[in-house]
Amino acid sequence: MKFTTASALLAVGTTANAHIMARNSETITGLLQSVFDSMTNADNHVLEYEGGFPSALRQAGEDLISVLSAGVDTAHNMEPLTSQDVLVITPLSQKLSAVGAKFLKDIGDAAPKFAAGGYCSHVNTFIQHLGEVSDAFFSANKEKFPEESQGYAEKEIQTTDGHFAEAKAALSPPVCVDAVGGAPQEGDDGQGHGEPAKEEPSASTSIAWNTGAGHPEKPTGAPQGECGQPAGHGAGEGNSTKPKPHSGQPSPEPVKGAGHILFPSVAAAALLAGVAFAL
């Protein structure tokens, strides 16, 4: 999400006096700073991750999604930017561009660690959702930029898409494959805290760790299947404690060695790298 090129061209021919305060510079600067801080925090947790259930990284990702989501409304309610506004935010937008690209590279470089813990597919799902959020944010902010910067903004969106594609490739087979049996079992997250069984993420139904949906509590009684039959009845499962979905509901397909879905599905609900078209 860079504005480097666009900002440089906008600077040429700008005749606004230096003492004139850009109308939206404070609003947009605050937005960019919030995204920068949140993304830096998420990147730091990627670098600190050494295996096991990535609780801290999960929380950092949830925080990033929240900040980006809130920024979409801010962008929609913001008045159109002037050339002077763009000049004011250029330094911060360049910093955001750098940390965005670094974050995606670092999370891709951590693929071997995610594979060992059984989290490749789920981190990949997070990147996909983050990309959707980024597109939504770009769309909301692109409308606010001066006409002369629209073409360059579109090119920066394409550059950002390229960074996401590289991260997804690094987290996808055959580069990143979840180790068979590598998912942490109960009581084994590297810190003595277990996590429940994992399900295959869905681009449309993945709920994030922030809600915990999709990870039911272990039933205390015999779970009932369709038509009141005990789970596993007639299917050779004996006294299985796995709850059975009601007729008409899809059955989640478990993944070997996979962890919980890393982050929430916020399909095109927010933003990623700031108004500055960072990354």
For the chain, give every domain's residue range.
1-12+23-212+252-279
Along the 279 residues of the chain, how does pLDDT read in single tens digits? Answer: 444 433 433 333 333 333 333 455 788 889 889 999 999 999 999 999 999 888 899 899 889 988 988 889 898 888 888 888 888 887 888 898 889 999 999 999 999 999 999 999 989 999 988 888 888 887 888 888 888 878 777 877 888 888 999 999 999 999 999 985 444 444 444 333 344 444 444 433 333 333 444 443 444 444 444 444 444 444 444 444 444 444 444 444 443 433 333 443 333 333 333 333 434
Nearest to 213 by CA among 199, 192, 193: 199
**Residue 149 burial (CB count, 10 A):** 21
CB 107 within 8 A of CB 123: yes
Three-state SS at 56: helix
**Residue 20 burial (CB count, 10 A):** 9
- Beta partners for residue 224, in sequence order: 230
CB 1 within 8 A of CB 274: yes
Q: Give the whole-angstrom CA distance, residue 32 versus residue 98.
A: 13
Is the backbone peptide bond immediately before 174 cis, with ω within 30 degrees of 0?
yes
CB 279 within 8 A of CB 163: yes
Extended strands (E) in the chain: none
Q: Look at the block and give the residue holding tokens 């500055």.
A: 276
What are phi and psi for residue 230, nearest 5 degrees?
-60, 145
| Residue 116, pLDDT score | 94
The pTM for the full model equals 0.60
Token pair belonging to 149: 């910067």
